[in-house]
Each structure stands twice: as C-alpha cells, then as structure tokens.
Structure 1
Amino acid sequence: MAEIVAIKPAVAEGPVVSRLDNGVVRLTLANPPANALSLATMAALTAELDRAKADKSVRVIVLGATGKVFCAGHDLKELSAHRDDADRGRAFFEKTFSACASLMQAIVRHPKAVIAEVDGLATAAGLQLVASCDLAIASHEATFCTPGVNIGLFCSTPMVALSRNISRKYAMEMLLTGETIDAVTAKEFGLVNRVVPREYLNQIVTKYAQTIASKSSLVVKIGKEAFYEQAEMGLAEAYDYTGRVMVENMLARDAEEGIGAFIGKRQAEWPEE
C-alpha cells in the first residue's frame, strides 16, 4: 500500500478549520457557539470538500465542530436581516437554500468517505449535515432535532436527508413534533452508527477513518457512488446497474491486486490513482 503521510497543518482562518493527518482530513466547524450554516460557512465547507476531492493524499474526510453545538442549522439572524430587502428576502432565501442543497449533495456525491463526528446539538440543517454524511459517530452527549415546526418554518430541506436515513414514521415523528432526541434514540432510529463516551469519540472516529483510508481509494469511490445510485432505483434496475459496476470494478487494477493478494495470502499494495 502506498505510504500515507501528514501533509497540511491546521488552517485556523475562517469558519472552517482544515487539518490533514495520515490521509484523513478533518474539517471542523469553528464558529461557536452556534456553528451556524451561514452563506460564508457553507461556501468555506464546500471549498474544502472540493480541495479534498482534488487532493490524492486525502482518503477520508471527518466533519466535526468546536463548542457545545455541532451545528445549529441556518443562520436565522442572517436570513431575517434580508426581510427588509425589496423582495422581502426571496432572492437571498433562494441563494441560501440552494447553497445548502449543493453542499449536502457535494457530501453525498464526494468520491471519498465522509464521517460526521458529533458531540453536541445537531439541529435543523445541522442534522441535515449529519444525515448527509456516509457514517456518523456520536458522543453520549450529542442530541438531534428538526425543530422548524416550532418556529413556523418546517424543516423541509433537512427532511430530504433525514427521510433517506431513517424510517418514514421516525422521520415524521421528528419533523412533526420538533422534539429533541438523545444519541441513543438517534442510533435506534438509524441516524448514527455508534454512540460512544465523549472522551473516546475522537479516538473511535479516527479508527474508523484510518480503517477506510487503508482501503483502495478507487474501490471506495466506486462503491460509494454505486450505493447512492442504486438506492434510488427499482430492484431490477439496481441489479442491472450494480452488475455493470462490478464488471468494470473487476477489470480495474485494484481488484486484480486485491484478489491476487487475498489468494496469495499477502498484503495488498494498492496502485496509485
């Protein structure tokens, strides 16, 4: 396997801090106390995702946050400030929700695995951020909610990611009541993969990230793309599509190397991309 080394120190400017270590880039929301998804924050996060896509040394992305709130969702003060615009804020609202949709799709369509490290409250679009990630590990202190119904703004866009992660009944329970659920309930609902003590959260997320980073990046890219594509298809179409994906995957050098290593009882050495 190609050597993975630390390349980039933490960058502490702006609302998102980026740090690359051993193939894992940590993107940290660093605008407490709310870590709100303002336009600037969404632009910064999208830019970091784009950089990670282009950087071959990045194999896994971890998305975390500073402070007691993982992410409080959209910046309601920023949104409300535009109600005095000539169009009562319509253009700014459209720009904001479009940027959010693009950000969430950038995570889902990203060729590299994205893991949410959640310690604190993830609410509204903040919960949407967690649900959009491929994996989510939460501390016991993490909480989750879609409270829009309580303030006259139904969480319609967070609903897209939420309803693609948990059952309809659980999704509607969260959306209609607006109540906060704890991390254990979030795991029962299927929103997060694991719930761990806060003091071990970073260690366990790093273990997950390093495990995935040790795999063929080409195969992870192929598999992630196929997973989300087939999930939107009917059964027969999904089998036809994934069959074609597996044929192309079998023809890739990574499959030849991986299978050969397995048969030969040796460690695989993944080709460089």
Structure 2
Amino acid sequence: MGKMEDYIKEVSQWNKELRDFLESEDVDKNNELWHRLDNFTDIMEGIAGPLDIQELEKIQEQVDGLHSDMENYFTNRQRVGNIYMNEPYIAAGKHVLPPLPYDYKALEPHISGEIMKLHHDKHHQSYVDGLNKAENMLQIARDKGDYNLVKHWSRELAFHGSGHYLHTIFWNNMNPKGGGKPSGALLKEINKYFGSFDRFKAHFSEAAKQVEGVGWALLVWSPRARRLEILQSERHMLLTQWDTIPLLVLDVWEHAYYLQYKNNRGDYVKNWWNVVNWKDVEDRYLKASELKWKPF
C-alpha cells in the first residue's frame, strides 16, 4: 500500500509540474492538451482512498496517454516552427529568413526542388529584405519627425511584411508526409461550418483558382465570429499584414467624420485621440500577447 501511495503522490506532482510547464510556455487554454490535463486533474483530485487494480490501471492509461500527447504536441510544434517560446521580440529591421523545415526536393513530385529553392532563397528573402528596409525607413521617419514618405513606406511595410509572414506560414503548412485530411478538433470545426471536408476543399480550391491577379487563398479563424472562414488576398495584402491582430483602429472613411468635419480629416484625427479607450486597447493587447509564434 505504501508503494501505491508513493506512486499516486509522484503522479500528482507530475501533474502539477506539467500544468506549470504549459503555463510557462503560454500554451493556449483552449488547446486540447489543457482539456485532457484538466480531466486528469479532476481524476487525481477525486481520489479519496486506496485504489483497486482496475482504478490504478485507468490512471496508468491516463498517464501514458498524456506522456504520448505531450511528446506529439511538442514534436509537431518544434517541427513546424510554431512552438510557444519565450524569446525576445524582433527589433525594427532585424527579420531573418526562416529555414525550410525540410529539403528543397522533399515535396517532389508535387513541387520541384528547383521551384522550392528559388521560391524560398530568392523570393522569400526579397520580402525579408523589403520588410527590414521599410521598418528602418519608418524608424528614421519617427526619429526625424518627417513623415512625408509615410504612405510609400507603409505600403512597402504591408506588402513585404505580409509576404514574409504568409510565406513563413506557407512553408510550415506543407510536409513531405502530408495530404489526406485533418482530424480532431480542426476536422470538427471544418464540418461544423462548411458541412464536410469535401465542401471545404472545393471552396478553398476555387478561392485559390479565382483570386484576382496574384495572391493567396487562406483558411482563417475569426475570433469575433468564433468560427473558420476562407478568404482571398490579392498580391499579399491590401495595406495590412497577415498573422497580426488589431489592437487599436481608426475609421477614416468619410462617413465617419464628414458630416461634422467636412473635408478636414486632420481635425477629426486630432480630436479622436481625446476619446480613445485605452483600457479596451490594453485588454486586447493582454489577450493577443498570449499568442506567440517563433520569431523570424
């Protein structure tokens, strides 16, 4: 009986250490790992006395399952470059080209090694260089208080920034052993909104084929609607950067100010600062900052 009690104590301590570790890594509380760990915690906290063999075997199954889940989770996160890390932020102009998570030829025959090398080493690198230049030039503008070229460099910031961020997602969205269909929570969400995986696949494929000019098809999560959606993006952006979350926004469409300020948008912008709800902005920041991708 003493050995069993020691085992339960060890498992309980491991459970606590595992929760602390997930907390330290900022793993999203909606992640399935947390749900499984919460269920296991309830089981451990519900132990009121000695266990029989069957109860002990069930706990051992839970422990083995959690061990396996943890190994798979962090192996996958490490592989795709999206592991939650406590790393320093990227200063202006310091972005770098992320390495491919596989060899250039690994996706053949579907995508040739020649294309992958050119796409990654040349095209993606050009977006990294363009983003760094735009950030550096905007830093100079802030230092000098000279914003005459802010429109130009904001366009460059959006185009090259979205090119860099989308390609970083793109490389990791592919894998030599990929294909098939998703499973688990993602498949449930796809079926819930699109009706089936086949309907989702057809919609996404048509969005990709029909996007005007050059651009992207994207499956996105909408925090406001709390569901998935499929979007198109021309070029890389329309003066925005993908993979970012809005914190503070200002509507400068004419309907937002024209009845009061006529064509004097400057006064509208100046006076708008008097009504900014910084508590709301801070709340959005605190929630958004919980999400941390590996920096590049």
Q: What's the TM-score once normalised by structure 2's chain length?
A: 0.24
* Structure (1/2) with the larger strand percentage: 1
Higher-RCO chain (CA-CA 8 Å, sequence separation at least 6): 2
Which one has the bigger helix percentage?
2
Greater Rg by CA: 2
